[in-house]
Structure 1
Amino acid sequence: MDALLTLGVTSCQQIIFIGSVGSLDDNIGIGDIVIPEYSVCGDGASRYISSDSLNNGDVFGEKIYSNIDLFNKSKTVTERICKEKT
């Protein structure tokens, strides 16, 4: 999160972030690609990213949905790449 916030004061226009998370599903293996429909806020920094105030906008524990167009585009591109590689 610190790196992303730092990029906010640069001329950077696009980034690609590949995250790492654990799974609660035994069917998801190491190296599997997962594109979630939403995430649940559980870190400190993004709790307040939607507001300039530490008293307002705390989204800890809430579902945060991605932009549906970006979600669909990511899914389509990933499916295409996976089919090309198999």
Structure 2
Amino acid sequence: MKKLKNEAELLKKALVIGEKYAINRGYKSFSATNSAKDKVESLYRLLVNDKLIQPLPIDNEDQPNMKHKLALWIAKQLPYRHALLG
């Protein structure tokens, strides 16, 4: 897994956009007590379920790989030459 430039910022953006997507799909928003780990896993599973991202192999389904997948997803959604794409 090759780390993306600005991956941490891309992940933050993915969490914000992903939460808005989940709310539009009928899910309630995350509470302040939800950990980032829970948010990452929930959004990853929602996007896989909706076939917006390819699922990871079962043996590679861990937090770093899920975070990377979310960062890749949002990087593909951003317009060309966006500041986060570096």
Query: Structure 1 length normalisation: TM-score?
Result: 0.27
RCO higher in structure (CA 8 A, sep ≥6): 2
Structure showing greater radius of gyration is: 1
Higher strand share: 1
